[in-house]
Amino acid sequence: MVSIDITLDFKTECPEKGKDPDVYSPSLRQYHKVLWSKPLPDGTIFELDASGSPVSRYLVHESARGTIRLSSDSITTRMLNRPRVRKLVEELPEGAVRPHRGYTIGSALVFPANRVQGRMTINGARGFLLTIADRFDLTLECIRRHYAGETSPLARTLEEHSLFFALFEDFENYVEFFLLQDLLTSSGTIDYWLPFQDFRRSAVPKTSSDYVRFRSATENFIDRRNQRVEAWTREHLS
């Protein structure tokens, strides 16, 4: 049985420049397989095959419903690739931002990997759209709206992968399956990392204080989800 280390930084397994841990970290791939190969709401097993090339067949689920190829992606971001954010960070005093603990399992998730008619994947679209800006709190709101039949900036992209989302039947099951409960409030709404603007403007933090708040929220989420993963593995994999 695989032991899941919630402190492991997957980037340490890919020290070579340009090596993406979402592709080349052997532990991350195995963790995904172990965590998510479990019963779906209808009782069938979401069996994941990790025997193929990590580049083209990272994880594959095959059933009577069809074949779904999955890829890994980080669901938190420091946004340091964005010039506006880098400028905000430069204005902050040392120690103002909570330290980043690295890329651990609490920050990782799988999404459908195939492109539909050459269009962007979910990972690509949520990183490209400024109204999402790679933020998973906003991505999860789009997923909630998908299940509710409501519109969102990711509506078409999510609908193109409706086979995947239909496996979980509804939003509550999706959240529970992927251990995402720590991104919801006690009333079941999204616990946004910054005040929600209903996708009307850029989701990138606008001020230094916004960025500090954003980083604190994301790091807290990672910590809580790591603990949730650890608790789940103790209960189900021991």
| Mean pLDDT, range 174-190, rounded to an integer | 98
Q: Which amino acid is at 127?
A: G
Q: Is the pLDDT of residue 101 over 90?
A: no
pLDDT in tens, 121-147: 999 999 999 999 999 999 999 999 999
| pLDDT at position 126 | 97
- Backbone φ and ψ for 196, nearest 5 degrees, come out as -80, 130
Token code pair at residue 212: 């500090």
Q: Report domain extents, the chain.
A: 10-236
Chain centroid, CA 51 distance in Å: 23
Average the pLDDT over 223-233 and give the result: 98
Under 8 Å between Cβ of 162 and 113: no
Mean pLDDT (the chain) is 96
Mean pLDDT of 64-82: 95
Tokens coding 75: 């669901």
Residue type, 119: R
If DSSP codes are grouped into helix, strand and coil, which group holds residue 69?
strand
Tens of pLDDT, residues 155-168: 999 999 999 999 99
User: What's the confidence (pLDDT) of residue 19?
Assistant: 93
Cβ-proximal residues to 221 (8 Å cutoff; 6+ apart), any chain: 76, 106, 182, 183, 193
pTM score over 0.75: yes
Q: Are 68 and 164 in contact (CB under 8 A)?
A: yes
Query: What is the distance between the alpha carbons of residues 92 and 225, in angstroms, rounded to a whole number?
Result: 28
CA distances for 221 relative to 38, 80, 133, 186, angstroms: 23, 19, 17, 15
What is the band of 190 on the pLDDT scale with cuts at 50, 70, 90?
A: very high
Residue 1 pLDDT level (bands cut at 50, 70, 90): low
Residue 188 pLDDT greater than 80, yes or no: yes
Give residue-wise pLDDT tens across range 2-33. 789 999 999 999 988 889 999 999 999 999 99
